[in-house]
């Protein structure tokens, strides 16, 4: 996203990141990812995940993808250690929650909006199964 942000803004667009969790988790995420400006990042800390439901996003347990197109990360061994060391701190788990936390089951997606119109929509079928940024930009003519 950071690499494409300039192209998006030059075309009159903007980038916004919304995730599940708490304000503290967002601060930690931004500290770990300094290339993401804090002014474009927001967190939904609601108890009912209404925002994700309204977007049509499902849960990992509901996913029945016909084709799985997961791409390997370019993580180094050090990157993986850092990721695994922070995953628990960043997971959207409500205090006192028992069983499998619903927040960790939630899938996200990608939208491109033009005013009130949705120009592009993608709902992740599985965690990590997100669209290529180049494909998103091409789909909306950037």
Q: What pLDDT, on a 0 to 100 scale, did the predictor assign at position 66?
A: 66
User: DSSP state, 40?
Assistant: G
Looking at residue 37, what is its pLDDT?
A: 86
**Strand residue runs (E) in 37-140:** 41-44, 109-114, 117-123
Q: What is the pTM (predicted TM-score) of this model? A: 0.68
pLDDT tens for each residue of 70-97: 555 666 777 767 766 666 676 777 777 7
Beta-ladder partners of 43: 19
Q: Closest Cα to residue 34, out of 10, 2, 77, 80?
A: 2
**30/72 Cα distance (integer angstroms):** 23
Q: Token pair of 40, please?
A: 């474009």
Phi, psi angles (nearest 5°) of residue 57: -80, 140
Residue 69 is predicted with a pLDDT of: 60
What Rg value do the Cα atoms of the chain yield, rounded? 16
Specify the length of the chain in residues: 142
Q: Identify the pLDDT of residue 9.
A: 80
Which segments in the chain show pLDDT lower than 70?
1-2, 63-75, 80, 83-88, 90
Per DSSP (E only), the strands in the chain are 17-20, 41-44, 109-114, 117-123
- Specify the pLDDT at position 59: 85
């Amino acid at each position: 996203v950071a690499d494409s942000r300039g192209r998006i803004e030059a075309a009159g667009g903007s980038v916004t990141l919304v995730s599940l969790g708490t304000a503290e988790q967002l601060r930690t995420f931004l500290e770990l990812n300094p290339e993401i400006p804090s002014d474009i990042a927001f967190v939904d800390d609601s108890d009912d995940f209404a925002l994700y439901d309204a977007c049509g996003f499902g849960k990992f347990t509901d996913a029945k993808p016909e084709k799985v197109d997961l791409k390997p990360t370019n993580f180094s061994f050090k990157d993986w250690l850092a990721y695994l060391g922070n995953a628990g701190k960043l997971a959207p788990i409500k205090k006192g929650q028992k069983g499998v936390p619903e927040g960790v089951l939630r899938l996200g997606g990608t939208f491109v909006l033009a005013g009130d119109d949705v120009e592009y929509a993608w709902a992740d079928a599985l965690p990590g199964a997100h669209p290529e940024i180049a494909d998103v930009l091409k789909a909306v003519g950037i």
